[in-house]
Structure 1
Amino acid sequence: MLEFRTQGFNGYGIKYSPFFDSRIAVAASANFGLVGNGRLYILGLTPNGIVAEKWFDTQDSLFDTAWSESHENQILVASGDGSIKLFDITLSQFPIQSWQEHAREVFSVHWNLVGKDTFLSSSWDGTVKIWSPNAAASLTTLPTHSCTYSAEFSPHSPSVLSSVSSDSHLRIFDLRTPASASNHLTMSIPIHSPPKPRMGAAAPVGIAPSEALSHDWNKYRDSVIATAGVDRVIRTFDIRAPGAGPIAVLPGHEYAVRRITWSPHLSDILLSASYDMTCRVWSDGSAMGVGAEQLQNTVHQDPMFLGGGREMGRMGRHTEFVTGVDWCLFGAEGWCASTGWDERVLVWDCRAVMQ
């Protein structure tokens, strides 16, 4: 396990470069993001450990970061002052572009993985905005009417994106639909609706809605999305059946789940970061085939479990809230990096903690 100290700055977001397996970016904030400056770290993995290749200081807290999918040296940051900044890591301290349209904190940024020519941002002001790095103003604004903690483009379509918000809904937007109808909104799924009962089973009990903080599209199954948040539970949904409720439910974290991300290598594995100071590896049960429900009934005595998934292992080396986690896209399918409020970046191998 490799470690780097972001001294004086508490980590919020971490992302591996899509171009280099040895480069990681970390968005961090002074004073836990409550007040003060931010810092974007560009870290290199070397034979001598993790070294800071460069860093950029900002006037306000940083909550997320996203590498450009079209330019290996460009990277976005989401700021607490409502701005989005684009840096070129080969240039000086100042951003090469900055946008200021959001009325409140920007909590997530995400680059279009398919089109590669646009990116999005989501904010506490209740909107998701679509941008071009070459345009001075946003291209489209999508209202969610609630504090939006996470938004992403689908990795399978350049026109489809999703968000999760404080109102406990997963929203799907399709930019190909008429804007006048419903602002491109095609689906709104209540995350805390109970799953449909199986034949002969009692109806499941619903859970009081709570804020959804994170979500991610499955890289191999184009209709599957995982969500997580304040209620400590990870859920997966199939958007082909939006009224069916979750297809997998994975409880286990002791405090809110701050970040989740599907493996880029395996279709059933995802990674989570939580305020309980752990990162956990999960299987959603989909790789178990027809035996998933039997496994659920025989292995999991907790009635909250659904779908045959299980916790595969956990990493508990952080000593404060874990707020960011990401997989390495290259090489063996276990390497990942995490960051948190303990001012630490850890690079580790999931396979070492999996059971």
Structure 2
Amino acid sequence: MNLTFRTKSRHGYSVKFSPYFPHRLACVSSQYYGIAGCGSLFVLDVHPGEIKLVQLFDWNDGLFDLTWAENNENLLVTAAGDGSIQIWDIAQSQNPLKVLKEHTKEVNAVDWSQTRNEHFVISASWDHLIKLWDINHNQSLATYTGHDYIVYNACWSPHIPGCFASASGDQTVRLWDSRKPDSGAVVIPAHKGEVLTCDWCKYDKNVLFSGSSDGFIKSWDIRNPQSPLCVLSGHKYAVRRVRSSPFSGAVVASASYDFTVKIWDVEKQTCVDTIEHHTEFVYGLDFNLHIPGQLADCGWDEQLHVFHLPSHQPGAL
């Protein structure tokens, strides 16, 4: 079953399921394709036959990414075009609990640590920098330099404490130890185009996936990243988001500027399904941590969809 929610004059950039509730998700969006105008954070609940709006929050610049807190079911962090990140309590005020601003350009990505300090968040920006935050403090704890171009994505390892990966327009993926900001990063020359996204395998702590403007998805063994473990080919345009399944180490999903979402069998290195329910760039994509085979995506066509993989459809054999 495919359920749809319209983000109404807002173009979707990122969608994430709650780590606490199987029915809850959130989406960030921007007016005018993120070029101008404000942004909105939608908090949504999935009910039988419909998606209901729970809360709507507005910010005075575009919102490009979000992450749920790992220690509070009501906290969310969003990334904004004005260089700030916002901490929201969805059970309270319409205004953020806190706004942290040190980046000098748009913030593309935020991610909340799952393994180290429960208050730690990283942010990645157009200013080529990655910053480490403790949400209880008003200044960043560390700044990570080395990328030569926009940092599009940064994500914590779900297995290795203090480790995170980043993806950049400088065509590299980098691996960082958050405890050693001055020691630099392991650099992986990953693609021949800008690297727009990365995600960790949930079943093997040494495997990382990357997606690029060159249309390819690659997987890497971080212990020996000289060449990719696999290369997935099939998207016609840039891969904007890659997400590893929380229920199978062999399944990866990707969202692309070719208006599609593709499901891949990594072991066979083949595309097993193509979902074509968008009419514009698909930007956001996420697996539900609680319901096998359920995903959500969002795009520039003002549509957010919640759907199941074909093999997990009700009544499927």
Sort the TM-score into its range (normalised by shorter chain).
over 0.9
**Aligned with residue 149 of structure 2, among 146, 155, 168:** 146
Q: By how many angstroms is 1:32 displaced?
A: 0.8
Indicate the residue corresponding to 1:187 in structure 2.
186
Say whether the 8 Å CA contact 1:171–1:185 is kept in structure 2: no
SS at match of 1:185: coil
What is the letter of the counterpart of residue 330 of structure 1?
H
| Cα distance in 1 for residues equivalent to 2:45 and 2:293 | 18
Measured after TM superposition, the shift of residue 157 of structure 1 is: 2.0
1:170 aligns with 2:173: yes
Instruction: Give CA-to-partner distance per residue, 1:171-223, whole Å, 9 cap, x none.
Output: 0111344x4xxx2324101003xxxxxxxxxxxxxxxx210000001111101
Per-residue Cα deviation, 1:143-174 (whole angstroms, up to 9, x for no partner): 12321000011111221111010111110111
Match of 2:276 among 308, 311, 316: 316
**TM-score by structure 1 length?**
0.85
- Aligned to 2:186, the other structure's residue is in SS state strand
Counterpart contact for 2:30–2:62, Cα < 8 Å = yes
Q: Is the 8 A contact 1:10 1:30 kept in 2?
A: yes
Q: Which amino acid aligns with 1:60?
A: D
Aligned length: 311
Residue 353 of structure 1: how far off its partner (Å): 9.0
Q: Following the alignment from structure 1 to structure 2, what is the Cα–Cα distance between the partners of residues 42 and 65?
A: 11
Question: Aligned partners of 1:23 and 1:232: how far apart in 2?
Answer: 31
Distance 1:353 1:322 in 2: 22
Q: Which amino acid aligns with 1:282?
A: W
RMSD: 1.4
Q: 2:199 aligns with which of 216, 223, 233?
A: 216
State how far apart, in whole Å, the 2-side matches of 1:77 and 1:171 are: 23
Q: Deviations over 1:203-252 (max 9, x none)?
A: xxxxxx21000000111110110101100000011011022x11100010
1:150–1:213 CA contact under 8 A, matched in 2: yes
- TM-score, normalised relative to structure 2: 0.95
1:156 is aligned, of 155, 159, 165, to 159
* Contact preservation (8 Å) 2:3, 2:49: no
Shift of 1:46: 1.6
Task: Give the corresponding residue for 1:134.
Answer: 136
Larger helix proportion of the pair: 1
Distance 1:175 1:184 in 2: 10
- Paired position in structure 1 for 2:249: 267
| Structure 2, unaligned runs of 5 or more | none
2:294 to 303, 323, 335: 335
Rg (Cα) greater in structure = 1
CA distance in structure 2 between the aligned counterparts of 1:173 and 1:149, rounded to whole angstroms:
15
Shift >6 Å, 4+ stretches: none
Deviation at 1:352, TM superposition (A): 5.0
The one-letter code matched in structure 1 to 2:309 is C
Q: Distance in 2 between matches of 1:119 and 1:166?
A: 22
Report if aligned partners of 1:166, 1:211 keep a CA contact under 8 Å in 2: yes
Bigger strand share:
2
The 3-state SS of whatever aligns with 2:310 is helix
Residue 351 of structure 1 deviates from its aligned partner by: 2.5
Cα contact 2:81–2:105 (8 A) shared by 1: yes
Q: Show structure 1 runs of 5+ residues with no match.
A: 193-208, 286-307
Whole-angstrom CA distance in 2 between matches of 1:339 and 1:150: 17
Q: In 1, are the aligned partners of 2:15 and 2:285 still within 8 Å (CA)?
A: yes
Match of 1:236 in 2: 219
Identical-pair percentage: 38
- Once the two structures are superposed, the pairs formed by residues 108-127 of structure 1 within 5 Å of their partners are 108-115=109-116, 116-127=118-129
Q: Letter of the 1:98 partner, please give it.
A: V
After TM superposition, give the deviation of residue 56 of structure 1 in Å: 0.3
